[in-house]
Each structure stands twice: as structure tokens, then as C-alpha cells.
């Protein structure tokens, strides 16, 4: 089975051992800029083509349940209250009270100050608590502040940490600063799995998304994540396809498997199934599990539940059938 490791040793672009690419600013830059350039037309065409795949009814039922089990059910608003978080936790554990066969979601994702509330509400359920951190969503804070944010979340019981990279540093070409911040967050996260958010909508180019993906993986990310959901462009089939290619290639070269989490803008069952096709056709079946693939979403679950009931009963219940988050 693929492993998770902090010091991959296989060779990367240009034949440089992965373990050596962070020896200096220059070696890291040389490695990242030595990655193959992205054919934007080819990438978008491939993503669009995979999105047209037809799914049989039995496969659709399986895909809907799989998608539900992959959701990080998320509330990241200034108006979040303990009551709202407890209600969201109850929905994560029992998404459809009329059908106990409905899968639980993978996690509930909240701000650090709501982790303890979520942890208590989810006790014994198997649903994870994920916490955004590192001055989410902008990441504009000193490193000690970011690390304190992570420590607070972990101390409160977070099973997973969703950190944001310093996009300003990345876009300025200060890759070593980004690498060192990820490494520092990884260290203070302890046993909590680390999801590294790139905010792909701010990285401007597909080449930058590929570089960020490899940088995050080299630094020890357990997951690479598209977006915060707080900007205009979030997860898209094309940027997610590119990240899936990156994790596939990284495992081929290092033996280390890394998860992928598209987040923001995925609202319908049709969209979710398109993303699952991308996973299957690009990274492969090993990633079709909530340990390796997640959806960062809030409204997606409701549509999945409505489509699930339609498949089971032949009737479409409409939005009144599900709870409003």
C-alpha cells in the first residue's frame, strides 16, 4: 500500500532526487520550473471530455453514496454559532433521518474556535473534525500567529488541518518560504492530517498550479486542496484534473500517495459525479475513497440526498426534503 512520508527519495524533473530539491532556493526553483509545462487546451479538453461520460443507474447510485462519504461538510462564516455547528454535526452523522442506510460524511470543517464543539457533537461517530487554520482564508499573518492557530485547533481535538499557503510569497517566487511554512505547520499538526490549500483561482496559470502541487507534496502535505471557497474561481474540473495528475505522478516517482480535495462551487450531484470520473480516469481506483479524495462543500450534500431519494423512490422531493444548513 502507498505510504505517507516526509522525505521522498525518487528522482523528479531533470533527474534531481526529490530529497535534494529543497537543499537551497536555487535547487527548489530549478526543480519546480523544470516540471513539464501544462497544455491548457489539452487539459481543458480532457476535463470537458471526461465530464460527458454517461453513468448507468446502478453506477449513479454507487457514485452518489461515495460522494456523500467524501464530503467535508463545511461552515466557515463569521456568524457561526455552537448551535449551528452542532446541527451540522448531526447532519454529517445522519444526513437523511428517513433512511439510515445513507452514508455519513467524511468530516465537518470549521474554524479553530468551533473545533471543541464539533468534536463533542461527533464523539464516537467516526466523522472527522477538520479545521481551517494559518489565518484562513488570506493567510496574511506572521508564521508564529499561523502556528498558534494550528496549535489551538489541534489542542481542541482537530483530526485534520486545512492550511492556506502564502500566495503572495509563491507568486513572488519565494518557494522556499512556502515550503518552510508547510513544513512548520506539518510539524505542529502532529498526527492530524494536513490539507494544503493553494487558492488556485489566485495562482493565475496552470503551470503555477502544477508547481504548487509538487511543492506541497514535497513539503509533506497529506492532501492538496484547490481553494478556500472564498474567491471568485474555486474548484474546476480542469484544475482538479491537473492536481490529480500531479498526485498520480508523485506516487509513481516516490511511492507516496497524497489526497486531493476540490473545494468551492461544487453544488450538484451531476458536478460531483463528474469529479469522481476525473478521479477514476486520472489517478485511479486507489483514490476513490474518502481517505484520499474529499469534496469541500456545504450545499452539495442536499442535492445528493434529493437525487438519492429520487433513485430509490422514483420521485423528486425538492428542497423541502432536506434541512437548510
Q: What is the DSSP string of 81-107?
A: -HHHHHHHHHHHH-S-TT-TTSPPPSE
Active-site position among 119, 146, 195, 225: 225
What's the start-to-end Cα distance of the chain, in Å? 37
Q: What does each C-alpha distance from 55 to 46, 246, 307 come to in angstroms?
A: 18, 26, 14
Annotation says 25 is catalytic: no
Active-site position among 119, 186, 195, 261: 261
- The upper half-sphere exposure of residue 194, i.e. CA atoms within 13 Å in the direction of its Cβ, equals 29
* Nearest residue to 158 (alpha-carbon basis) of 204, 196, 121, 189: 189
Active-site position among 162, 166, 249, 303: 162
Query: Cβ distance 242 to 38 under 8 Å?
Result: yes
Annotation says 195 is catalytic: no
* Nearest residue to 221 (alpha-carbon basis) of 254, 250, 249, 193: 193
Annotation says 162 is catalytic: yes
Query: Nearest 5 degrees, angle CA 313-CA 315-CA 320?
Result: 115
Q: Catalytic amino acids? A: 162, 225, 261
Amino acid at each position: 500500500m502507498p505510504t505517507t512520508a516526509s522525505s521522498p527519495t525518487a528522482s523528479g524533473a531533470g533527474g534531481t532526487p526529490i530529497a535534494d530539491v529543497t537543499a537551497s532556493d536555487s535547487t527548489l526553483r530549478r526543480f519546480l520550473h523544470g516540471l513539464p509545462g501544462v497544455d491548457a487546451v489539452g487539459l481543458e479538453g480532457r476535463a470537458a471530455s471526461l465530464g460527458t461520460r454517461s453513468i448507468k443507474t446502478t453506477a449513479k447510485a454507487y457514485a452518489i453514496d461515495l460522494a456523500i462519504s467524501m464530503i467535508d461538510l463545511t461552515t466557515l462564516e463569521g456568524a457561526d454559532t455552537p448551535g449551528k455547528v452542532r446541527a451540522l454535526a448531526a447532519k454529517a452523522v445522519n444526513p437523511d433521518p428517513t433512511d439510515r442506510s445513507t452514508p455519513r460524511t467524511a468530516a465537518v470543517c470549521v474554524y479553530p474556535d468551533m473545533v471543541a464543539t464539533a468534536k463533542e457533537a461527533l464523539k464516537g461517530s467516526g466523522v472527522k473534525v477538520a479545521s481551517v487554520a494559518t489565518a484562513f482564508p488570506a493567510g496574511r499573518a506572521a508564521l508564529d500567529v499561523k502556528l498558534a492557530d494550528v496549535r489551538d485547533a489541534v489542542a481542541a481535538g482537530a483530526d485534520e488541518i486545512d492550511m492556506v499557503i502564502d500566495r503572495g510569497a509563491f507568486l513572488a517566487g519565494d518557494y522556499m518560504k512556502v515550503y518552510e511554512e508547510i513544513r512548520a505547520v506539518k510539524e505542529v499538526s502532529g498526527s492530524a492530517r494536513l490539507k494544503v490549500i493553494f487558492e488556485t483561482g489566485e495562482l493565475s496559470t496552470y503551470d503555477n498550479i502544477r508547481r504548487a502541487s509538487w511543492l506541497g507534496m514535497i513539503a509533506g502535505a497529506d492532501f492538496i486542496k484547490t481553494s478556500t471557497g472564498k474567491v471568485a474561481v474555486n474548484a474546476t474540473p480542469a484544475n482538479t484534473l491537473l492536481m490529480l495528475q500531479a498526485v498520480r505522478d508523485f506516487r509513481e516517482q516516490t511511492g507516496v500517495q497524497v489526497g486531493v480535495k476540490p473545494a468551492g462551487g461544487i453544488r450538484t450531484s451531476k458536478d460531483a459525479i463528474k469529479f469522481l470520473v476525473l478521479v477514476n480516469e486520472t489517478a485511479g481506483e486507489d483514490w476513490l475513497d474518502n481517505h484520499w479524495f474529499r469534496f469541500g462543500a456545504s450545499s452539495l450534500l442536499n442535492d445528493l440526498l434529493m437525487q438519492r431519494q429520487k433513485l430509490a423512490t422514483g420521485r423528486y422531493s425538492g428542497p423541502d426534503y432536506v434541512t437548510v444548513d
